[in-house]
Amino acid sequence: MESSRIKSVAIIGAGAAGAAVAAAFAAEDCFDKIRVFERRETAGGTWIHDPDPTPLLVPQPGALPTKIDPPLEAPRDLPTTAPPSSQERYEKTPIYEDLTSNVPSIAMSFSDARFAYGPFVPHWVVKQYIENYFSTHRLDSLLVLSTTVEDVTKLPSTPTGLDRWSLTLRRYDPVAHVDVWWKEDYDAVIFANGHYSVPYVPKVDGLEQYIQKFPGRVIHSKSYRSAFNFKDKRVLVIGNSASGHDITTALAKTATRPVYQSRRSASRWDGDKPPPGIEWKPIVKKYLPDGNIVFDDDSVLSDIDTVIYSTGYKASFPFWNSHTNGGPIWDYRQNRLIGNYLHIFLRDFPTLGVVGIPRTLTFRSFEYQAIALARVFSGRNAIPLPSKEEQEKWEEDRWKLVSRERRKFHDIPWDNDETVAYLDELFHLAGLPLLSGSGRYPPILDERTRWAIEHVKKYPEPDHDEDQEEENHRWTMVDPTSYKDSLHFI
């Protein structure tokens, strides 16, 4: 791609991924216009704390973002103003009061700025860090806050053959109490919109009726803010990843004991028996009309006051106009970006990029992804992208590999060295900046950082030699084939 072709770049989202992208693109010093559109009132993304989670989201078992987070219809002729939309957009974050980071600062933060302290910090330190990152790197002038990208539509190709993009934007005007709608066109767009905003609750026999019959009894962890709200309540937590673990542990101090935790598989931090005040259950088999909850081992719980589904999130791209752009961008059956290369490039859309999708180191990996994208989009990459056919083969091969190993397409584990190989690939793809100083160096991943990832643990782990692991799996009666990477909680 020649540098002269892409002049304007729109970035969707001002979380950590958006910050990394803004820094990388600005550093290339060859784009005339860079804008970071953020629907919230400030940068920070996931790390913004919304003490009030209302309106409470009523769980919709099995429902995907395509159903519960549909596109918002724009007025016909833009620019214009319209009555404010009341459609749920899942803008609030899941941050709870006592949440702290779970990856040591040396490995989680960007390579050019450490958190205020470490290794693990409260959520407000991370939020301040992201806000400061924008200002200390003089990227804050690129921010267009309180502005939602409602539609991204491909325009007819330019004479150079590259796709351009039309963005439909909406900003609530709090003085006039109207939504202001307008359009802007860009040569390239980078999605840094995160994927932990639309909660997912699995389909379970009788759950839908249970939710209707007992309003407010079932919530998603996205709405959880403090264990204090569950004082003396009988609580069942579903899920055993970071949210399920944190919430169950906190509830064991305030709720009626035992707090029940339903696990589908064991985590690395699980020993052979639950911690005091917690009772493990297998997955739920069915919810009965009388309020009883039946588990896979046919045990039954009665009189549960609250069920907290800590079953994660689904990526959502309501702004992607699948109608005009020739199809969807995300495959919900396979949980992956359609037509991607290295989790960031899109084969059929060379002027589109995505940062923040792979489940691996967060901020630090966003940096590699962003620098690689910026270098390719600036036309200065030392290593050109492979042909479309080779990119397609990469995607097919990865799909075969993860299917064989029963993994998820975008999960990049640490223990099998896949993370290091991935970062190394992006490191080489990005190549060096210019001698004049334009562009960023991809960061190194030195011994100290790797050591910290492997040895500085927020969640203490019991002994993990293989015999012990097998023993644990026999004891816990959960899916014994589910191997957990040492960074599986990220």
Ligand X SMILES: NC(=O)c1ccc[n+]([C@@H]2O[C@H](COP(=O)([O-])OP(=O)(O)OC[C@H]3O[C@@H](n4cnc5c(N)ncnc54)[C@H](OP(=O)(O)O)[C@@H]3O)[C@@H](O)[C@H]2O)c1
Question: Does 16 help bind ligand FAD (rule: CB under 6 A)?
Answer: yes
Question: Does 12 help bind ligand FAD (rule: CB under 6 A)?
Answer: yes
Q: How far is the CB of 265 from ligand X (least distance, A)?
A: 4
Q: How far is the CB of 489 from ligand X (least distance, A)?
A: 5
Q: How far is the CB of 73 from ligand X (least distance, A)?
A: 30
Per DSSP, the three-state class of 237 is strand
Residue 340 is inside which H or E element, if any?
A: strand 340-341
Which of the listed partners (ligand X, ligand FAD, none) does 246 bind, with a CB threshold of 5 to 8 Å by partner kind?
Answer: ligand X
Burial class for 405, CB neighbours closer than 10 Å (0-12, 13-18, 19+) = exposed
Residue with tokens 């200065």, as numbered in its chain: 380
Which of the listed partners (ligand X, ligand FAD, none) does 111 bind, with a CB threshold of 5 to 8 Å by partner kind?
Answer: none
In this complex, which beta carbon is closest to ligand X, that of residue 118 or of residue 244? 244
Which of the listed partners (ligand FAD, ligand X, none) does 489 bind, with a CB threshold of 5 to 8 Å by partner kind?
Answer: ligand X
- 197: Cα within 13 Å, side-chain hemisphere: 26
The binding track of 177-196 with respect to ligand FAD, each residue x by CB under 6 A or -, is: ---------------xxx-x
First-to-last alpha carbon distance for the chain, in angstroms, is 34
Question: Does 18 help bind ligand FAD (rule: CB under 6 A)?
Answer: yes
**Nearest by Cα to 206 from 196, 217, 195:** 217
In this complex, which beta carbon is closest to ligand X, that of residue 183 or of residue 264? 264
Binding-site member from 37, 224, 280, 414 for ligand FAD (CB under 6 A): 37
| Helices 363-378 + 16-28 axis angle, to 10 | 30
Can you tell me the distance from the alpha carbon of 290 to that of 489, in angstroms, rounded to the nearest whole number? Answer: 35
Which of the listed partners (ligand X, ligand FAD, none) does 240 bind, with a CB threshold of 5 to 8 Å by partner kind?
Answer: ligand X
A 10 A CB-CB count for 401 gives: 12
Can you tell me the distance from the alpha carbon of 117 to that of 138, in angstroms, rounded to the nearest whole number? Answer: 23
Q: How far is the CB of 205 from ligand X (least distance, A)?
A: 12
Question: Does 472 help bind ligand FAD (rule: CB under 6 A)?
Answer: no
Considering only residues 196 to 255 of the shown chain, the ones binding ligand FAD according to CB under 6 A are 196
In this complex, which beta carbon is closest to ligand X, that of residue 14 or of residue 266? 266
User: Any bridge partners for residue 144, and if so which?
Assistant: 37
Residue 449 is inside which H or E element, if any?
A: helix 447-455
Considering only residues 69 to 108 of the shown chain, the ones binding ligand FAD according to CB under 6 A are 91, 94-95, 101-103, 108
Question: Does 139 help bind ligand FAD (rule: CB under 6 A)?
Answer: no
Q: Are 346 and 354 in contact (CB under 8 A)?
A: yes
**Torsion angle of alpha carbons 256, 296, 202, 244, nearest 10°?**
40
- 175: Cα within 13 Å, side-chain hemisphere: 0
Size (the chain), residues: 490
Question: Does 17 help bind ligand FAD (rule: CB under 6 A)?
Answer: yes
Which of the listed partners (ligand X, ligand FAD, none) does 16 bind, with a CB threshold of 5 to 8 Å by partner kind?
Answer: ligand FAD
Q: How far is the CB of 311 from ligand X (least distance, A)?
A: 4
Which of the listed partners (ligand FAD, ligand X, none) does 37 bind, with a CB threshold of 5 to 8 Å by partner kind?
Answer: ligand FAD
333-367 as b/e: b if 16+ CB within 10 A? eeebbebbbbbbbbbbbbbbbbbbbbbbbbbbbbb
In this complex, which beta carbon is closest to ligand X, that of residue 347 or of residue 484? 484
Residues that bind ligand X (CB under 6 A): 99, 101-102, 196, 202, 221, 238-244, 246, 264-265, 283, 310-312, 482, 489-490
Binding-site member from 148, 265, 391, 419 for ligand FAD (CB under 6 A): 148
DSSP annotation of 346 reads: E
Q: Are 136 and 129 in contact (CB under 8 A)?
A: no
In this complex, which beta carbon is closest to ligand X, that of residue 243 or of residue 449? 243
Considering only residues 344 to 383 of the shown chain, the ones binding ligand FAD according to CB under 6 A are 356, 362
Site residues (vs ligand FAD, CB under 6 A):
12-18, 37-40, 45-47, 91, 94-95, 101-103, 108, 148-149, 192-194, 196, 319, 356, 362, 490
